[in-house]
């Protein structure tokens, strides 16, 4: 049995680099939302590590909720068909909602999700993504808070997975093709 790091071709973003990026995002959000009580909505499963680190650096009264939204199945690219597997637990009417995503690539899921949530009359909806992969964009979605613009590589770690594996890596790396081919 091999170590999971044996499947990594290259480390793109170190644990320290990610930590600094998260701190920078939190500082911007703290400044932009000063005096308000935003609702952070984590998109599971991928965002859980990023969301936990981000929320611990938020110096505002805020609340947290989660949604499970799927468009990938167990493949390496989006199917384009979005399913809500777990909806929000609370009413968002009049609230400032910040959707927290691990990675924004095609934009199809977030485009669907924004339209889905807009009907519930929040005050605002903003997107905070750790990683932005614009080379894969198929929908007109622009994040309000972007940590890292990343190359068009198949990446895992820090919550990102392939077939539910590699989320536990403390860094983000490029998966070797043999690990998913």
Q: Which residues 6+ apart lie within 8 Å of 133 measured at CB?
A: 103, 104, 105, 149, 150, 151, 152
Q: Can you tell me the distance from the alpha carbon of 25 to that of 19, in angstroms, rounded to the nearest whole number?
A: 10
Considering only CA atoms, give the Rg of the chain: 16
Asked if residue 177 belongs to a domain, the reply is no
The reply to whether 168 falls in a domain is no
As a whole number of angstroms, the distance between CA 87 and CA 92 comes to 12
Q: Which residues pair with 101 in a beta bridge?
A: 129
The total of structural domains in the chain comes to 1
Neighbours of 18 (CB within 10 A): 23
Which residue, among 156, 138, 170, has the nearest Cα to 102 in the 3D structure?
Answer: 156
Is position 99 within any domain? yes
Query: Has residue 178 been placed in a domain?
Result: no
Confidence at residue 50, expressed as pLDDT on a 0 to 100 scale: 98
Decide if 167 is inside a domain.
no
Q: Is residue 10 part of a domain?
A: no
Q: What is the pLDDT along the chain (181 residues), one digit of tens a residue?
A: 468 889 999 999 999 999 999 999 999 999 999 999 999 999 999 999 999 999 999 999 999 999 998 875 555 555 567 889 999 999 999 999 999 999 999 999 999 999 999 999 999 999 999 999 999 899 999 999 999 999 999 999 999 999 999 999 999 999 998 888 6
In the DSSP assignment, the letter for residue 176 is P
Task: Measure the CA–CA gap between 101 and 126, rounded to whole angstroms.
Answer: 11
Would 4 be classed as within a structural domain?
no
Residue 62: domain span: 15-155
- CATH of residue 130: 3.40.50.2020
Interatomic CA distance for residues 159 and 50, integer angstroms = 7
Task: Single out the residue of 140, 62, 55, 67 nearest to residue 104, CA to CA.
Answer: 140
**Positions marked active-site:** 105
Instruction: State the pTM of this model.
Output: 0.92
Residue 162 lies in a domain: no
């Amino acid at each position: 049995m091999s170590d999971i790091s044996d499947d990594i071709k290259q480390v793109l973003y170190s644990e320290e680099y990610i930590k600094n990026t998260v701190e920078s995002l939190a500082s911007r959000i703290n400044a932009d939302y000063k005096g308000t009580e935003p609702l952070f909505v984590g998109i599971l499963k991928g965002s859980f590590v990023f969301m936990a680190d981000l929320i611990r650096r938020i110096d505002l009264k805020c609340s947290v909720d989660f949604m499970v939204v799927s468009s990938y199945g167990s493949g390496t690219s989006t199917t384009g068909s979005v399913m809500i597997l777990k909806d929000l637990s609370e009413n968002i009417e009049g609230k400032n909602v910040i959707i927290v995503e691990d990675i924004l690539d095609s934009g199809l899921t977030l485009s669907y999700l924004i339209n889905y949530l807009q009907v519930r009359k929040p005050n605002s909806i903003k997107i905070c993504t750790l990683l932005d992969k614009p080379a894969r964009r198929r929908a007109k979605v622009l994040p309000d808070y972007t940590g890292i613009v990343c190359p068009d590589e198949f990446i895992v770690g820090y919550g990102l997975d392939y077939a539910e594996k590699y989320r536990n890596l403390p860094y983000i790396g490029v998966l070797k093709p043999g690990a998913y081919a």
